[in-house]
Structure 1
Amino acid sequence: MKPPPQPSAMDALHEAGIHTAVALQAGPPWLEQFWLFLTSHLDPNSIYTICFPLARGLDDNVSIMVLWIALVAEWLNVVLKWFLFGERPYWWIHESGLSSRVQLPLRQFPVTCETGPGSPSGHCMILGAALWPIVSALTKGMSRYTQSRLLKLIPFLVYILLLVAMGLSRIFVLAHFPHQVVTGSLAGMALGWGLQRWPPNFLKCRFFLGMALGLLLSAMALHGLATATGLDLDWSLHRASSRCSDPSWLRLETRPWASLCRVSGTALGLALAARHPLSRRAVQELRGLEPPLGSATLGLLALDLLHKLPKSEDTALWYLNVGARYALGPVLVGSLLPQLILILRRLRATPQNHPRGE
């Protein structure tokens, strides 16, 4: 009689990750709510709708750098997921037969059923990359007020803690294994550091227009070539559909093509914003406004309203709608809303002509 096959090193790594998830899910209820809040509200979409407008409170270039790094990181994350064929815990426990051999007290959540491959973690990679310019700007700002090295390191320490918490939240909801969140975080940090050292010319419309087309077409070409060679890059969709506890938890926005529409749309929005930049006088006026986060708050509200508008139920139109919304975001926050603020400010500053009394 042949002995049972020995598990591979990757299987052992996956099983260790499952036990980590079991330990996390056995934690106190208040911690469960924290993990769910974190993974739901700091997903890759939040970089474009929350971090980008908030970064305008620091500096316009910082906010654009956040978008630029985010879209490059998200595109690269999609490509890596396609060709690394990473499993996800919520389907691996069934596909591997572990759930039939071991009693596992694990639960799925509405944010569990990601449909793309699992490696590396997009939440950790994109968050780690896009927050790097914000952390750098905050660290420089701390240097103006203190000479203490410890205080200067506070933004970076908060950044590291946030990435660790994000990684634990992804393990908790069974969306990723520990090694996937570690590699995603490290890749995001390296990408953020590298891209910030070589920023593009933010005033060149043609550059971002070329990026919008290049990122989308290159992804389509890679997908087509892989399919032609016999690789099924959509294998994860079948796994997700068969192993998700609730079919309503399978969302279009978790698919790789939704990420690519977001990336291309954002690059197109940066091109349009570069085509119609604010004048120097307008920039100087905006810098003199108090408080500096006023326009950022208005941008947050506008983007929140934009992305809450209903989308088409047709899949092709849904993707087109997503691309259009993310293209409008940089224009809305970077050009239209600042112009509106200046117009309202000038109207308030204009003296009114009142009729003289008798």
Structure 2
Amino acid sequence: MKPPPQPSAMDVLHEAGIHAAVALQAGPPWLEHFWLFLTSHLDPNAIYTVCFPLARGLDERVSVMVLWVALVAEWLNVVFKWFLFGERPYWWVHESGLSSREQLPLRQFPATCETGPGSPSGHCMILGAALWPIVTALSQGVSRYSQSRLLRLSPFLVYVLLLVAMGLSRIFVLAHFPHQVIAGSLAGMALGWGLQRRPPNFLRYRFFLGAALGLLLGATALHGLATAAGLDLDWSLLRASARCSDPSWLRPETRPWASLCRVSGSALGLALAALHPLSRRAAEELRGLEPPLGSAALGLLALDMLHKLPTSDRTALWYLNVGARYTLGPVLVGSLLPQLILSLRRLRATP
């Protein structure tokens, strides 16, 4: 009689992650609400619609850097997921047969049913990369008023704690294993640090236009080459559909191609915004407005209204709609709204 096959190292890692999720889901109800709030409200979409306009309260270049780092991180995350073939806990626990061997009190949530592969965590990678310019700017701002090293490092401490909490929330909802959130967090931190050291010329619209085309065409070429080589990069869609406990939780915005539309649309929006930049005098006038977060608040409101507009149910039109919204976002926040604020202020000041 042959002995049972020994589990692989990845199976052991996955099983340990499942038990970590069981422990997290057994926590108090108030902590459950916190995990669900965090994973739902700080998803990659929030970087484009919340963090980007809020960063204008710090500095225009910081806000553009946040968006640039975010879209590069999201593109790389999609490529990593395609070729790393990472499992997700909510389907692996069934596909591996672990759920039939053990009684596991696991629950799924509306944020659980991500449709793309699982490694590395996009929530952690994109958040870790995009927040790095904000944290650096805050730390530099603190250093102007205090020589305390602890105060200067406090923004980075909050940043690390936020990434840890985000990783735990992704494990809690069965969207990722622990090693996937660790990999995503480390990749995001490294990417944010590296890209900030070599910022692009924010006034060169040709750079962002080339980035928009290059990112979309590059991903399309990689997908086509992999398919021609016999690799099924869309394998996770079937598993997600089969193992999600509620079909309405399968959201199209979690698909890799939705991410690519978001990325290329945002890069195109940066190119269009760079076509009509604020003059130096207008930028100084805008920085003198009170309160300084006025344009950021208006940008938040405009992007919230933009992304609440109805969308088409047809697949092609839905993807086109996503690309158009994320193209318009940087134009609104970076060009149209600041010009509107300055025009209204000048009209008010005119006798």
| Secondary structure in structure 2 of the residue aligned to 1:274 | helix
Tell me the distance in 2 between the aligned counterparts of 1:295 and 1:38: 26
Return the offset for 1:190.
0.2
Mapped pair 1:299 → 2:296 = no
Partner of 2:53: 53
The amino acid that maps onto 1:316 is A
Distance 1:332 1:102 in 2: 53
Q: Which one-letter code corresponds to 2:116 in the other structure?
A: G
CA shift for structure 1 position 37: 0.3
The DSSP-based 3-state class of the residue aligned with 1:290 is coil
Is 2:54 the partner of 1:68?
A: no
Q: Secondary structure at the match of 2:145?
A: coil
**CA-to-aligned-CA distance 1:244-268 (integer Å, 9 cap, x gap):** 0000000100000000000000000
CA distance in 2 between counterparts of 1:316 and 1:230 reads: 25
CA drift at 1:92: 0.1
- What does residue 134 of structure 1 align with? 134
Query: Aligned to 1:131, what secondary structure does the other structure show?
Result: helix
The residue that corresponds to 1:251 in the other structure is: 251
Give 1:281 deviation, angstroms.
1.7
Partner Cα distance (2:193, 2:218) in 1: 24
- What is the deviation of 1:73? 0.2
Measured after TM superposition, the shift of residue 279 of structure 1 is 1.4
- Taking the aligned partners of 2:277 and 2:141, their CA distance within structure 1 comes to 26
What pairs with 1:1-358 in structure 2 (closer than 5 Å)?
A: 1-351=1-351
Q: Which has the larger radius of gyration?
A: 1
Q: Distance in 2 between matches of 1:288 and 1:145?
A: 20
Deviation, structure 1 residue 72: 0.3
Offset, 1:276: 0.9
Provide the C-alpha distance between the structure 1 equivalents of 2:41 and 2:109, rounded to a whole number of angstroms.
14
Give a deviation string over 1:70-95, Cα, whole Å, max 9, x none. 00000000000000000000000000
**Deviation of residue 347 (structure 1)?**
1.2
RMSD, aligned CA: 0.4
Identical-residue share of aligned pairs (%): 87
Shift in Å at residue 280 of structure 1?
A: 1.6
CA distance in 2, matches of 1:335, 1:222: 34
Deviation at 1:121, TM superposition (A): 0.1
**Shift of the alpha carbon at 1:296?**
0.3
Equivalent residue letter for 2:221: A
Q: Counterpart amino acid of 2:109?
A: F
Q: Could you tell me how far apart the structure 2 residues matched to 1:321 and 1:272 are?
A: 17
Structure 1: distance between partners of 2:198 and 2:280: 24
Q: Which amino acid in 2 is paired with 1:295?
A: S
CA distance in 2, matches of 1:313, 1:279: 41
Amino acid at match of 2:120: P
CA distance in 2, matches of 1:37, 1:217: 35
Q: May I ask how many residue pairs the two structures share in their alignment? A: 351
SS at match of 2:6: coil
In structure 1, C-alpha distance between the alignment counterparts of 2:263 and 2:10, rounded to whole Å: 31
Deviation at 1:66, TM superposition (A): 0.2
SS of residue matched to 1:144: helix
Which deviates more from structure 2 when the two are superposed, residues 162-171 or residues 143-152?
143-152
Q: Write the deviation string for residues 108-147 of structure 1: whole angstroms up to 9, x where unpaired.
A: 0001000000000000000000000000000000001111
1:290-311 Cα deviation digits (max 9, x unpaired): 1111110010000000001011
Q: Deviations over 1:301-348 (max 9, x none)?
A: 000000010111001100000000000000000111011111111111
* CA distance in structure 2 between the aligned counterparts of 1:308 and 1:299, rounded to whole angstroms: 14
Please give the TM-score of this superposition, normalised by the length of structure 2.
Answer: 1.00
SS of 1:4's equivalent in the other structure is coil
Which amino acid in the other structure matches residue 40 of structure 2?
S
Moved more, 94-103 or 272-281: 272-281
**What is the DSSP-based 3-state SS (H/G/I as helix, E as strand, rest coil) of the residue aligned with 1:283?**
helix
Alpha-carbon offset, residue 158 of structure 1: 0.2
Greater Cα shift, 290-299 or 78-87: 290-299
Unaligned runs of 5+ in 2: none
